[in-house]
Amino acid sequence: MSKAEPNEGNAKLNGLKVLVTRPAGQSASLIETIQAQGGVAHAFPLIEIHPVSQCSASLSRVNDYDLVIFVSRNAVECAWSFLSVSQLASSQVAAVGQATAAALIQHGHPADIVPTYRYDSEGLLAMPELEYVSGKRILIVRGQGGREVLANSLRERGADVDYAEVYQRVPTEQVLTYSSDDIDVIIITSSEALVHLQDIARQTGKTWLLAKPLLVIHERIAMRAGELGFKLNPVIAGQASEAALLDALQSMQH
């Protein structure tokens, strides 16, 4: 696994052909930017985000919690169907990363706690505000089947932790019509997307997908790629931001 180095100037992608696998509705800006920087971007969503239809009991009493943690932008967007700013007035709010924090700002409730150097559960757990949480009631807002490290660590620190699962990730049923020559790099932003890409490669005979360079946003996804049989060590973007992805794409040309 290799870490992409940031680029100080504007990324010039020189015709680099990129498969963008973010969910539909979340890829347009990245695609436009890749193309504006001289790349060729193909949209191929691997995962759909399906909001739950009913508010969970824990989310309906959100004002009972001392701290409410949103683990993703999707968690914010899907939870807000059942929330208002006033309901969160008595609670601290934490965001796992910058995109999540930006989504909270858009809904009128800036996060009180955001990691400063690492945008994941481990980064949030390292924040001083979460060091002493014994006796506190904490709600984690997430998708179904997320990682347990955040809740387990907070419980070990003495907190009472509940979940509000507000969406599920569902593999898309799209057919990949691109050939190997159409794709130089594949951007993967979740482990679920990576698993579905492997399924497509195996089930459709397009095993060349397993030999394509991958750009991922977390070391955890890079490790999973090796377990699933992808041939090359993925490049890991320094952050999940669009700017970091572009910097990493530029580094992959050399």
Residues 179-211 pLDDT 10s: 999 999 999 999 999 999 999 999 999 999 999
Contact between residue 221 and residue 194 where contact means Cβ atoms under 8 Å apart: yes
- Region 233-249 average pLDDT: 88
Rounded to 5 degrees, φ, ψ at 239 are: -145, 175
- Region 152-167 average pLDDT: 96
Q: Quote the CA–CA distance of 53 and 137 in Å, as a whole number.
A: 25
Contact between residue 31 and residue 242 where contact means Cβ atoms under 8 Å apart: no
User: Hey, how many other C-beta atoms are within 10 angstroms of the C-beta on 132?
Assistant: 11
Place of tokens 């992959």: 252
How high is the pLDDT of residue 154? 97
Residue 3 has pLDDT above 80, yes or no: no
Closest CA to 182 of 20, 12, 4, 10: 20
Q: Which fold has domain 2-46+174-251?
A: Rossmann fold (3.40.50)
Residue 163 has pLDDT above 70, yes or no: yes
Residue 232 has pLDDT above 70, yes or no: yes
Residue 5 has pLDDT above 50, yes or no: no
Q: Quote the CA–CA distance of 37 and 10 in Å, as a whole number.
A: 8
Length of the chain: 254
How high is the pLDDT of residue 1? 53
Q: Quote the CA–CA distance of 75 and 66 in Å, as a whole number.
A: 18
Identical topology for domains 2-46+174-251 and 50-169? yes
CATH 3.40.50.10090 fits 50-169, yes or no: yes
Q: Quote the CA–CA distance of 133 and 97 in Å, as a whole number.
A: 20
Residue 239 has pLDDT above 80, yes or no: no
Residue 4 has pLDDT above 70, yes or no: no
* pLDDT, tens digit, 9 for 90 and up, residues 44-102: 999 999 999 888 889 999 999 999 999 999 999 999 989 887 888 889 999 998 889 99
Residue spans per domain, the chain? 2-46+174-251, 50-169
How high is the pLDDT of residue 254? 59
Q: What is the model's pTM? A: 0.86
How high is the pLDDT of residue 156? 97
Rounded to 5°, angle at Cα 223 from 77 and 141: 20
* pLDDT, tens digit, 9 for 90 and up, residues 128-153: 999 999 999 999 999 998 789 999 99
Residue 106 has pLDDT above 60, yes or no: yes
pLDDT band per the 50, 70, 90 thresholds, residue 8 = very low
Q: Quote the CA–CA distance of 67 and 55 in Å, as a whole number.
A: 18
Which amino acid is it at 88?
L
Contacts 24+ apart (CB under 8 A), 103-106: 103/70, 103/73, 103/76, 103/77, 104/70, 104/76
